[in-house]
Amino acid sequence: MPIYEYECMACDKITSSLILKPEEEALVCCEHCGENGIKRIISRCTAHKTESQRLNNFNTQGHADEGLNGDPRNVGLWAKKRTKELGVDLGSTLDESIDRARSGKVLD
């Protein structure tokens, strides 16, 4: 069941619509202005990355507002990557604590 995105020719806003049957597409109109002069557009997509891929791509030297660094939940990712860069092994206890903190669980 695809969700298609449409651009309104009247107000230039984007409308998303779940299309269950091909004939339903003819009924879609702009959810902002109600016009039916819309065209289907190519939607953005994302690809899932594993924890190790995210860790490899994480820039520990970047500014706090750049990419993953801008998300406070990634402090743990920064700590993991930085200890690896420095050649320090703090054991599995650190990894477990970081993972619990990142998941929102209260640390013991």
Same domain, 61 and 85: yes
Same domain, 72 and 93: yes
Q: What is the pLDDT of residue 62?
A: 61
Per the domain annotation, does 46 fall within a domain? no
- Per-residue pLDDT reduced to its tens digit, 10-36: 999 999 999 999 899 899 999 999 999
Same domain, 86 and 68: yes
Per the domain annotation, does 32 fall within a domain? yes
Phi, psi of 53 (to 5 degrees): -65, -45
The first and second tokens of residue 90, run together, are 């703090």
* Least confident residue range of 2-11, 29-38, 95-104: 95-104
DSSP label at 75? H
Tally helices (H) and strands (E) across the chain.
Answer: 3, 3
Per the domain annotation, does 71 fall within a domain? yes
The first and second tokens of residue 51, run together, are 């924890």
Per the domain annotation, does 108 fall within a domain? no
Per the domain annotation, does 107 fall within a domain? no
CA angle in degrees (0–180, nearest 5) for 58-63-69:
40
Domain count for the chain:
2
Same domain, 37 and 73: no
Could you tell me the pTM of the whole model?
A: 0.43
Same domain, 59 and 96: yes
Same domain, 33 and 75: no
Same domain, 95 and 64: yes
Reduced to 3 states (helix: H, G, I; strand: E, B; else coil), residue 71 is coil
Q: Please give the residue range of the domain that contains residue 60.
A: 51-102
Q: What is the pLDDT of residue 11?
A: 95
Of the chain, the end-to-end C-alpha distance in Å amounts to 44
Buried residues in 63-91 as b, exposed as e (16+ CB within 10 A): eeeeebbeeeebebbbbbbebeeeeeeee
